Structure 1
Amino acid sequence: MADASSSDITGEKQTFKIRKLEITDKRNGYMELLSQLTVTGSVTDDEFDQRFKEITSYGDDHLICVIEEESSGKIAATGSVMIEKKFLRNCGKVGHIEDVVVDREFRGKRLGKRVVEFLTDHCRGMGCYKVILDCGVEKKEFYEKCGLVNKGIQMSKYF
């Protein structure tokens, strides 16, 4: 299993720590960070706490990591991964990376790459035979730098 405990990343004049999402992270800018990626809506503290408890009840099959800027406690980056259990490949597992975003204030410090590496390492440790993610064309080059390759076309239907 990948070590999901805190580890340090040192940047220019700032120190960052990567770790699992904590229930108190809503007040450290977690939802505001997600809103830089897509629509989040108005999530109350109770709704956040309830969803957090639900997600953490899945154990290591659903992991959300954050990178915290240590001096301010602000959440600088995040990403999540869900482990899908399959019948294919001898009942193998696939990691699905989602919701990778770096706060505008902290971009250019390789934090997004660190999030993807952390989540990929978690999947490897969980015994996944592959990791996949969907992204827009404009993000293709970034994910290639993270070691992923384009293997197809994403299709979706929103409800």
Structure 2
Amino acid sequence: MSGGEKQTFKIRRLDISDKTKGYIELLSQLTVAGSLTDEEFDQRFKEITSYGDDHLICVIEDVSSGKIAATGSVMIEKKFLRNCGKAGHIEDVVVDTEFRGKHLGKQVVEFLMEHCRAMGCYKVMLDCSLENKGFYEKCGLVNKAIQMSKYL
């Protein structure tokens, strides 16, 4: 980018065209994403969007390049607890190495938290590594538990 250009970012829901804008490659910076055919991507996209507002994936696009710079997702869990309350589960937050240091991760988390607020969630939670704990604390989250996992 030349000195006179200003970088502009747009946060929005994932669109089916984002596969061609580096979305899967971005996820690969977080964990193993694998290679998806266009058909596999389209099928999963349609499945996720069929859940409506209960599963939201957001992206931040670098408008000048059309590249996906950051992403994150949230799933809304409907409970019997808390008078049939709802809890948000944030997952898969990642910022492309090229765009780090521009507060895009914080924008993703805030966007997802606002979605949870609008959906009437009484809490939002996420799992993170110890290395990322400080980042999420800056986003207003507090350490409440220990994560336990068993990979199948």
CA RMSD of superposed structures (Å): 0.8
- Give the equivalent residue in structure 2 for 1:80: 73
**Separation in 1, partners of 2:130, 2:146:** 10
- Residues 1:26 and 2:19 are matched in the alignment: yes
**Separation in 2, partners of 1:72, 1:34:** 18
**Cα deviation 1:54-101 (Å, max 9, x = unaligned):** 000000000000000001110000000000000000000000000000
| Residue of 113, 116, 123 corresponding to 1:130 | 123
**Separation in 1, partners of 2:109, 2:116:** 11
| Residue of 8, 21, 37 corresponding to 1:15 | 8
* Structure 1 stretches of at least 4 aligned residues deviating more than 6 Å after TM superposition: none
Provide the secondary structure at the position in 1 that maps to 2:120. coil
Deviation at 1:13, TM superposition (A): 2.2
| Residue of 136, 148, 151 corresponding to 1:155 | 148
Normalised TM-score (structure 1): 0.92
**Separation in 2, partners of 1:70, 1:40:** 24
- List gaps (5 residues or longer) in structure 1: 1-11
**Separation in 1, partners of 2:6, 2:90:** 29
How many residue pairs were aligned? 148
Deviation at 1:42, TM superposition (A): 1.3
How many percent of aligned residue pairs carry the same amino acid?
Answer: 83
**Separation in 2, partners of 1:43, 1:152:** 34
| Residue of 88, 91, 95 corresponding to 2:88 | 95
**Separation in 2, partners of 1:141, 1:113:** 12
